[in-house]
């Protein structure tokens, strides 16, 4: 009765609560953001294969994951919403990609009060600059949550979530740089496509 009342009132089907393991499986698919084999997800989550496979089947039935081809799974927009990430439209994508003025750009620091003179004005710029920043700077900002805060300021909850997941997994060093670059690059391309922007072939090789 309560469920029917909620649907009538909001026009939405209420989200089902996720078990910790189902949430971890969804978060793993979110972080990689590409079709993954069940065995890869099991390895990433450090869980046994059979229960992970059962959770994937359950998540697919719930509409939180889909299987584009046999044996591989990917998170859906509904799955992202279950993790607190709203679907965005063209206008929102354009807003996230907009050029940030200098006072709102991301400024890389070696440590507190030691700026590197390296600034990122948008996601495309960030993906380029993070390749050039000292790794100690990348780890410094990641440990403080500075990347998450800047992405939140841009209005991109998906990047906030992915960056937080990297911190939870304690990814450090060049692997942290590689994964941050990859998730920001993928996100930029996804948003640029949604916003109808042309992406030059050399977009990350400035």
Domain boundaries, the chain: 2-82, 90-195
* In contact, 155 and 92? CB cutoff 8 Å: yes
Q: What is the DSSP letter of 163?
A: H
What is residue 21's predicted lDDT score, i.e. its pLDDT? 94
- Token pair, residue 34, equals 């590409």
Burial of 12 (0-12, 13-18, 19+ CB in 10 A): exposed
What is residue 142's predicted lDDT score, i.e. its pLDDT? 97
- Token pair, residue 57, equals 């089947």
What is residue 191's predicted lDDT score, i.e. its pLDDT? 97
> Considering only CA atoms, which of 75, 191, 65, 177 is closest in space to residue 127?
177
Tokens 């992406």 belong to 199
Architecture of domain 2-82 in this structure: Orthogonal Bundle (1.10)
What is residue 28's predicted lDDT score, i.e. its pLDDT? 97
Q: What is the DSSP letter of 103?
A: G
CA angle 121, 149, 183 (to 5 degrees): 70
Residues 6 or more apart whose Cβ sits within 8 Å of residue 205? 128
What is residue 46's predicted lDDT score, i.e. its pLDDT? 94
What is residue 156's predicted lDDT score, i.e. its pLDDT? 97
- Token pair, residue 171, equals 């990814």
Residues in the chain with pLDDT values less than 70: 1-16, 200-206
The Cβ of residue 176 has, within 10 Å, a number of other Cβ atoms equal to 19
What is residue 64's predicted lDDT score, i.e. its pLDDT? 98
Residues 6 or more apart whose Cβ sits within 8 Å of residue 172? 139
What is residue 201's predicted lDDT score, i.e. its pLDDT? 57
- In angstroms, the CA 187 to CA 9 distance is 34
* DSSP secondary structure string for all residues of 77-118: HHHHHHTT-----HHHHHHHHSPPPGGGSEEEEEETTEEEEE
What is residue 73's predicted lDDT score, i.e. its pLDDT? 97
DSSP alpha helix (H) spans, 98-172 = 123-132, 135-144, 146-154, 157-168
What is residue 59's predicted lDDT score, i.e. its pLDDT? 97
- In angstroms, the CA 73 to CA 96 distance is 28
Q: What is the DSSP letter of 98?
A: S
């Amino acid at each position: 009765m309560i469920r029917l009342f909620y649907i009538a009132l909001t026009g939405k089907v209420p989200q089902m609560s996720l078990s910790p393991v189902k949430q971890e499986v969804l978060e793993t698919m979110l972080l990689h953001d590409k079709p993954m084999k069940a065995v890869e997800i099991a390895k990433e989550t450090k869980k046994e294969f059979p229960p992970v496979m059962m959770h994937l089947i359950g998540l697919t039935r719930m509409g939180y994951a889909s299987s584009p081809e046999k044996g591989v799974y990917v998170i859906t927009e509904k799955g992202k919403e279950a993790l607190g990430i709203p679907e965005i439209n063209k206008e929102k994508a354009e807003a996230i990609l907009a050029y940030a003025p200098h006072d709102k750009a991301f400024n890389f620091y070696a440590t507190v009060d030691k700026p590197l003179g390296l600034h990122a004005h948008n996601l495309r710029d960030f993906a380029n600059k993070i390749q050039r920043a000292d790794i100690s700077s990348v780890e410094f900002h990641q440990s403080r949550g500075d990347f998450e805060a800047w992405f939140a300021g841009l209005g991109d909850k998906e990047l906030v979530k992915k960056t937080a997941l990297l911190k939870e997994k304690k990814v450090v060093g060049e692997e942290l740089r590689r994964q941050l670059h990859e998730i920001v690059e993928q996100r930029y391309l996804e948003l640029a496509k949604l916003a109808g922007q042309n992406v030059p072939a050399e977009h990350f090789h400035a």
